[in-house]
Structure 1
Amino acid sequence: MKPESGPETPATKFLRQYGVNYSSHFYDYEEHGGTKVSSRELNVDEHAVVKTLVMQDESARPLIVLMHGDRKVSTKELARQAGCKKVESCKPEVANRHSGFLVGGTSPFGTKKKMPVYVEKSILDLPLIYINGGRRGYLVGLSPTELTRLLDPKVVEVAID
């Protein structure tokens, strides 16, 4: 499935480079609207919209966490499962520097820096996920098996409601 005139971003270049079939989904981005807005605009379950969070450990080493749109990350549990002392969110400008994407448009594909990726286990059970395509207001739909193939993420169970 070729993207129907989707934008050219580092993420879409990466996906094409690895021969990934994905669909393009556009919506009107709202500042601080998050997955609630994208799921509503695209008429999909927020649980299937995956957010890409750039975080850092106690030594300020960056990492990516992929989480359901309707769940939060237990940073304490993530630190435990990742073998760190502490994990916290990066400031937006720091996240931008690591990923090369603006917050709200962060994709785990085609990041500027290679970072370890952690994925919430239940995301891999979904038939289809919607994840940022590297631009605000743009998601790509793909199979979670592609996520595993491309990113080789560490599977964690760190979701909280």
Structure 2
Amino acid sequence: MAKKEHVSETPATQFLRKHGVAFTEHPYEYEEHGGTSVSSRELGVPEHDVVKTLVMQDEAARPLVILMHGDRKVSLKNLARAIPCKSVEPCKPDVAQRHSGYMIGGTSPFGTRKALPVYVEESILALPRIYINGGRRGYLVGIAPGIIVDLLKAKAVSCALEE
């Protein structure tokens, strides 16, 4: 991968820099509804190593973040069991944006508007490097996955389904 130009700061990159986290910047051409298949293709990395940041809510409408492999879906039933709560569902886009401070397609778990509980698919933590949204559409950052646990106190869960 060629080194790309520096892009302007986001709340996510400010958060990472403030905590002394080493990361690489990976801007790419964003495609509406392209998802992780587009970002993995543009960056030349496996879609399994691209991590989606999904804002969900429990039955009491309490928000939470789940981090999932780009090539997997979240089993809402298994996530609810793991948390534990009665049910989990995705937030509507405007609600997710209000909680996170990020536009859909540009949501990062770092530097969210409100501190949200973070859950991470446990197999993500076994990867050598992950590519996760840097707080803007068309912009991923490459980091060591352990940072998610260290900085965000993320709890590992097992709720992945094959896409």
Same fold per superposition (TM over 0.5): yes
Amino acid at match of 2:158: E
- Residue 30 in structure 1 maps to residue 27 in structure 2: no
Structure 1 gaps, min length 5 = none
> Secondary structure of the residue that 1:13 maps to in structure 2?
helix
Distance 2:87 2:67 in 1: 18
Deviation string 1:91-115 (CA, Å, 9 cap, x unpaired) is 0000000000000000000000111
**Structure 1 residue 5 displacement after superposition:** 1.9
> Secondary structure of the residue that 1:25 maps to in structure 2?
strand
The normalised TM-score by structure 2 is 0.96
> Secondary structure of the residue that 2:31 maps to in structure 1?
coil
Aligned match of 1:116: 117
Amino acid at match of 1:38: S
Amino acid at match of 1:31: E
**Structure 1 residue 13 displacement after superposition:** 0.3
4+ runs deviating over 3 angstroms: none
* Aligned partners of 1:26 and 1:138 also within 8 Å: yes
Structure 2 gaps, min length 5 = none
- Residue 138 in structure 1 maps to residue 139 in structure 2: yes
* Aligned partners of 1:105 and 1:135 also within 8 Å: yes
Deviation string 1:119-146 (CA, Å, 9 cap, x unpaired) is 0000000000000000000000000111
- Residue 151 in structure 1 maps to residue 149 in structure 2: no
Deviation string 1:44-92 (CA, Å, 9 cap, x unpaired) is 0000000000000000000000000000000011001101100000000
Aligned match of 2:62: 61
The normalised TM-score by structure 1 is 0.97
**Structure 1 residue 154 displacement after superposition:** 0.8
Aligned match of 2:53: 52
> Secondary structure of the residue that 1:51 maps to in structure 2?
strand
Aligned match of 1:160: 161
* Corresponding residue pairs, total: 159
Distance 2:8 2:37 in 1: 22
